[in-house]
Amino acid sequence: MKKKGIAAILALLFGMFGIHRFYLGQRVKGIIYFVLFILTLSSTVEGFYFLPPIILPALIAFADAILFAVMPKEDFNHKYNSRYMVEQATQNRRSRTPHKRRVVVEPNNSFKESGMRKYDSFDIEGAITDFRKALNSKFKDSQVHFLIACCYSINEEPEKSLFHLDKAVDFGFVDFDKIHKVDALAFLRTHKRFEEFVKNSYQIPRYLPEEEDNLLDQMEDAKATDLLDQIAALGALYEKGVLTPDEFQKQKQQLLRG
């Protein structure tokens, strides 16, 4: 920002050289002042004058000094600091504008979203594939377990459907009324083990003393559940980069061999 006092002093002391014009950002006028000084200086040296020509730029500079001294500050700023004043006003408006709060959004589970789209378009097999991939990265997602339970029920696979419904409840799904009303679980609700699931507080019974066959089924379910949990845990480690692809496949094969 230019100061009118400094401009006046420069005009008074060095005005014949155009220094005050350079200070004010008026380079062309500063050059004219300097050229005029050189011309009048050369004329003064070449001849004798009652009033030497070099007096001319000195008088002009003196007039500039007087003009700057008496000029109101507002007029000086308007003429020589207009750009600075505009920039300052812009910064003030920005500083008064409240900054929007940054909201950190967690990355979406793309497999979950694509699975939901396929589920809505009745691509059940595609939805199951994507939901299983989603569980590899976040196995405790109750919504994904509920949706995949619906898919398996539509495919008339009650054991797999009941397994994921059990997991959904384990991980926080509490809309039990929806379990009894959603159309996708209609097939599962006709299965005998669904009644046992409901009576057991929406959990798969771990032991059924009435029939030895059911007990064996439960043992197989427990093994399957444990195997799926372990594979899902390996998948989560692989997604995080803890396991290399070769290590993931090797440990997965070891689990499947039992």
Distance of alpha carbon 165 from alpha carbon 198, whole angstroms? 11
Closest alpha carbon to 70 in 81, 82, 58, 62: 62
| Token code pair at residue 29 | 């006028």
CATH class of the 110-257 domain in this structure: mainly alpha
Which of the pair, 228 or 182, is modelled with greater confidence? 182
Give CA angle at 197 (194, 203), nearest 5°. Answer: 145
Distance of alpha carbon 82 from alpha carbon 78, whole angstroms? 5
Residue 109 DSSP code: -
Q: Look up the pTM and report it.
A: 0.42
Q: Is 141 exposed, middle or buried (0-12, 13-18, 19+ CB in 10 A)?
A: buried
pLDDT digits (tens, 9 = 90+) for 203-221: 888 654 444 455 445 555 5
pLDDT score at 218? 52
Would you say residue 13 has pLDDT above 50? yes
Residue 206 DSSP code: S
| Token code pair at residue 195 | 């009644």
CATH 1.25.40 domain locations along the chain: 110-257
Tell me the average pLDDT of the chain: 79
pLDDT digits (tens, 9 = 90+) for 138-165: 899 999 999 999 999 999 999 999 999 9
pLDDT score at 194? 92
Q: Cα–Cα distances in Å, from 256 out to 8, 148, 159, 178, 217? A: 91, 22, 19, 35, 19
pLDDT digits (tens, 9 = 90+) for 109-136: 689 999 999 999 999 999 999 999 999 9
pLDDT score at 190? 92
With pLDDT > 70 as the criterion, what percentage of the chain qualifies? 76
